[in-house]
Structure 1
Amino acid sequence: MSKTLYEKIWEAHSILEGEDGQTLLHVGRHIVQDGSNHAFDALHQRNLRVRRPDQMFATPDHGVSSRSRDVEAIADPDQRRAVQALSMNSREFGIVHFGLDDPRQGIVHVVGPEQGISQPGMLLVCGDSHTSTHGALGALAFGLGASDVFHVLATQTIWQLRAKTLRVSVEGALPAGVTAKDLILAIIARLGANGAAGYVIEYAGPVLRAMSIEERLTVCNMSIEAGARAGMVAPDDTTYAYLAGRPFAPNGAKWDKALAWWRTLPSDQDAVFDKEISLDANALAPMVTWGNSPEDALPVDGRVPDPLDESDLERRAYQLRTLDYMGLLPGMALTDIRIDQVFIGSCTNARIEDLRAASKIVKGGRAVVPALVVPGSTQVKLAAEAEGLDRIFRDAGFEWGESGCSMCVAMNGDRVAQGKRCASTSNRNFIGRQGTGSRTHLVSPPMAAAAALTGRITDVRKFEV
């Protein structure tokens, strides 16, 4: 019987089915960060060992400082202890650890792909909701809660309910100035913040096929914002070329064996999905969010919605509350929204291609508001500096940081002050995400760069590159 990519991976990792309908799945690889220490504490309390330390990788990202690699520079004592505990637990249990003094350190969802840890056909988990990112390489990847992290540490397995399948096909080609970030914001606006609940999304079509792995990572990263359990792109020659030679990817005869299996993974031509939708990429424009959900995304040349035009009373009430919190007026042009600062970073948009795209807008300009650029990993930072991208940003008045989650999550010293407005390349814009009372507008790296130079939401298509 024909199968989808998701079904093939699920069945390859299935061990047994429980009476409650859940399936016990073998976990291929497990990545942990500085939010995983409660799970390690549970191991200590039960006197258990990590079942497969050779298939685990650790790196601190959420609580680390973007100003220094010195653990003592982490101002919050709880975050400092979490980073130190991850190092100690990794050493005790024999886990590969990319610490602050390691050039491989970075955000888990940037490090995994660039080190070749994430691979096609793999079931990969992490105690972070944006683990869906790794699906860009043809993996089934999803986030876990603390109790599930403990279960994987102890058993290298996880109980899961089987999801439904949703294929999102993107036809045409992305217009100039439109990026992978704009595409996924448009998809979420179409589906809604809960529109893919209970589904695993497979992104398909000529636009996805033409994308680089870094662009696919951006798309899969935000699948969770539509409520999906995971997001995936079928592996192809772009995937294999990206993985070849990476430190934790197979090599030699193992590469040949892995590649032969990887080529069997794409969904069969006549595979049936539970739901399908399609988008015309030719009609897309640069996107910006106006509200407190990624689904509140509109083309940059649009206007803030007027709640009085909304017939759904619950939606109207939401819009009224949101406009009050965001300090916006109904019907105002999105390009009339003034911003107070800019953040370019996060597991969504802090890879080398993102920084290159932003630097092209920035070059020769000058930021008129505070702007912070934080590479997604130390490897990205070193590569950007080798290309001179850091100098372009610094010459334009941007701050250049050390790798980590930074202002995306506001638990590491980088935050947006109450009532202030930030154009951000991150993935979430809910109330208080970037700091108590913060106001966040999600945009692509080029859009964020344009906003930094103008002090307002700006259509990046007005910039000639």
Structure 2
Amino acid sequence: MPASRTLYDKIIDRHRILSFGEAEGAGERMLLYIDRTVLNEYTSPQAFSGLRDAGRRVWRPEAALGVVDHVNSTDPARGAGSSDGGAQRQIDYFVQNGRDFGIEIYDVLHPRQGIEHVVLPDLGWVLPGLVIAAGDSHTTTYGAFGTVGFGIGTSDIEHLLATQTLIYHRLKNMRVTIDGRLPTGVTAKDAVMAVIRLIGAGGAAGYALEFAGEAIRTLGVEARMTMCNMAVECGARVALMAPDDKVLDYISGRPRTPPAAMLERGREQWAELVTDAAAHFDAEVVLRAEDVPPMVSWGTSPDQALAISDRVPHPDDMPIDRQADVARAIAYMGLEPHMLLQGISIDRAFIGSCTNARITDLRDAARILDGRKVAPGVRAMISPGSSTVRREAEAEGLDRIFIDAGFEWRQSGCSLCLAMNDDMLAPGERCASSTNRNFEGRQGIGGRTHLMSPAMVAAAAVTGKLVDVRRFPSPETM
């Protein structure tokens, strides 16, 4: 074991039960203990069916929590059922599995229902130094707490439920350092989109990515979650940030957080959850926060993004191995090379998803929308990340700001992030979206998605077009 280790390696070493073979370092194959998992109605059914067929039980049902989030309606007046028969069968089977295997399930009408990666932090169930694996790629979100989180497939979910372990291969280490401070009007969403654009959609494949630097330390915990959430969009299997007092303050007093005395004892151990000064990284990336602009995606991959002040690229100006992809993306998005991004008209505006639907995201949007109206012809929606966030927003009066501006104030769920429920784009509709992926058809067949921060979505909604949020007249809007 190296004398100096990264944060990722420290956590993995603490959870390694045994190694298979002689190899150490990246690629090492091991049996890894998993502390907790969160389940959803979409990726878990086959895992439960496998357990039933094999006659196995769940080894530690108290280490799992189930949340309905992907297929449920977010209609403001939704009931316990779904108008979609297939979705209802998924929800019913999920609830039955929780009952039969002893796992707590937050169904559609549960007061803490929401998107899984918002619900767990809401509860205080994500603590520094844990390993959390779940059937969703955005499990990287938990890295904001100094937690190793990663997505797994259905067969791995079955293995995890039966044994509380997984066969795991150690990743290489990458560090992304962002020094300085983000300018006014620039958010964590912009910063992570800038990183993804810089290193590419597969630039961090095979790596655990650690974010470091002054800009990261100055971010709030929810902004850090946004960055770790989207790290998977540049290929990272794990994203991490060293936990600090902001993390401890965030988790204190939540429903599932350990008692204060235990947290204090944990504080001493969590202080060791930092990368050693001499630790080796297999790759290093450095950015200056002052150079990060408000970002918007133009294409059909999260790395196809630019500053809002830029123009759509021309395929001929790109490396030859990217020209075909760029041309296809431009055609799908209904754009023209060299077109200004600023001023492109939109049909829809959406604030939601496990990336940007927490209370601080809603506050950012409300500051833009307060006293303004959604542009004619634009349908605008907000789906809070959880029912808890929804109540908190209503207690602050944010819902009235949204409704008065012309936004639909919906219930919680994955919603328009992916076309797996009754919220979706029609073919050809163009959406300013605070979500994490802009793939072809992601929000609906033929739908066109532009990724950006919640504040940028709000600005697009009231102008009816993509716009630089910094152009809004009052600096207090940020």
Give the alignment's TM-score, normalised by structure 2.
0.95
- In structure 2, the partner of 1:396 is 405
Shift of 1:96: 2.1
- In structure 2, the partner of 1:343 is 350
User: How does 1:31-430 map onto structure 2 within 5 Å?
Assistant: 31-35=38-42, 36-67=44-75, 68-72=77-81, 74-310=82-318, 312-368=319-375, 369-430=378-439
Contact map agreement 2:80 2:109 (CA 8 A) in 1: no
Secondary structure at the counterpart of residue 247 of structure 2: helix
Secondary structure at the counterpart of residue 336 of structure 1: coil
Render the CA deviation track for 1:54-112: whole Å, top value 9, x for unaligned: 1111111001110144232x222221111122211112222122222221111000011
CA spacing shift, 1:58–1:69, aligned 2, 3 Å? farther
- In structure 1, the partner of 2:24 is none
Aligned length: 463
Render the CA deviation track for 1:387-437: whole Å, top value 9, x for unaligned: 111110111111010000000011110001101110100000010000001
The one-letter code of the counterpart of 2:331 is D
Distance 2:28 2:263 in 1: 36
Shift of 1:50: 0.4
2:463 pairs, out of 448, 454, 459, with 454
Shift of 1:313: 2.1
1:12 pairs, out of 10, 14, 30, with 14
The one-letter code of the counterpart of 1:205 is G
Distance 2:396 2:17 in 1: 47
Q: Which runs of 5+ in 1 are unaligned?
A: none
Render the CA deviation track for 1:129-157: whole Å, top value 9, x for unaligned: 10000111000000010000000010000
Contact map agreement 1:185 1:297 (CA 8 A) in 2: yes
The one-letter code of the counterpart of 1:378 is S
The one-letter code of the counterpart of 1:307 is P
Distance 1:363 1:124 in 2: 38
Distance 1:419 1:100 in 2: 31
Contact map agreement 1:71 1:80 (CA 8 A) in 2: no
Distance 1:361 1:83 in 2: 36
Q: Relative to structure 2, which stretch is displaced further, 255-264 or 434-443?
A: 255-264
Shift of 1:21: 4.4
Contact map agreement 1:71 1:83 (CA 8 A) in 2: no
Distance 2:185 2:361 in 1: 13
Shift of 1:337: 1.1
Shift of 1:297: 0.9
Secondary structure at the counterpart of residue 170 of structure 1: strand
Q: Relative to structure 2, which stretch is displaced further, 96-105 or 415-424?
A: 96-105
Contact map agreement 1:21 1:161 (CA 8 A) in 2: yes
Contact map agreement 2:45 2:93 (CA 8 A) in 1: yes
Secondary structure at the counterpart of residue 50 of structure 1: coil
Shift of 1:320: 1.1
Secondary structure at the counterpart of residue 65 of structure 1: coil
Secondary structure at the counterpart of residue 314 of structure 1: coil
The one-letter code of the counterpart of 2:5 is K
Distance 1:174 1:309 in 2: 29
Contact map agreement 1:304 1:334 (CA 8 A) in 2: yes
Shift of 1:124: 0.3
Contact map agreement 1:343 1:373 (CA 8 A) in 2: yes
> In the alignment, is residue 443 of structure 1 matched against residue 470 of structure 2?
no
Distance 1:21 1:360 in 2: 48
Shift of 1:33: 0.8
> In the alignment, is residue 27 of structure 1 matched against residue 29 of structure 2?
no
Give the alignment's TM-score, normalised by structure 1.
0.98
Distance 1:309 1:410 in 2: 33
Distance 2:47 2:78 in 1: 25
- After TM superposition, the runs of 4+ consecutive aligned structure 1 residues lying more than 4 A away are none
Distance 1:260 1:317 in 2: 53
Render the CA deviation track for 1:241-283: whole Å, top value 9, x for unaligned: 1111222222144323322211111111222211111100101
Render the CA deviation track for 1:143-176: whole Å, top value 9, x for unaligned: 0100000000100001111100011110110001
Distance 1:152 1:225 in 2: 25
Distance 1:139 1:30 in 2: 12
Render the CA deviation track for 1:280-339: whole Å, top value 9, x for unaligned: 0101110000000110110000100011222x2221111111111111011011012111
Instruction: Give the superposed CA RMSD.
Output: 1.1
Render the CA deviation track for 1:165-220: whole Å, top value 9, x for unaligned: 01111011000110010000000001100000000101010111011110000000
The one-letter code of the counterpart of 1:15 is I
The one-letter code of the counterpart of 2:421 is N
Contact map agreement 1:64 1:71 (CA 8 A) in 2: no
Contact map agreement 2:252 2:260 (CA 8 A) in 1: no
Distance 1:194 1:76 in 2: 36
Secondary structure at the counterpart of residue 389 of structure 2: helix
Contact map agreement 1:305 1:331 (CA 8 A) in 2: yes
The one-letter code of the counterpart of 1:5 is L
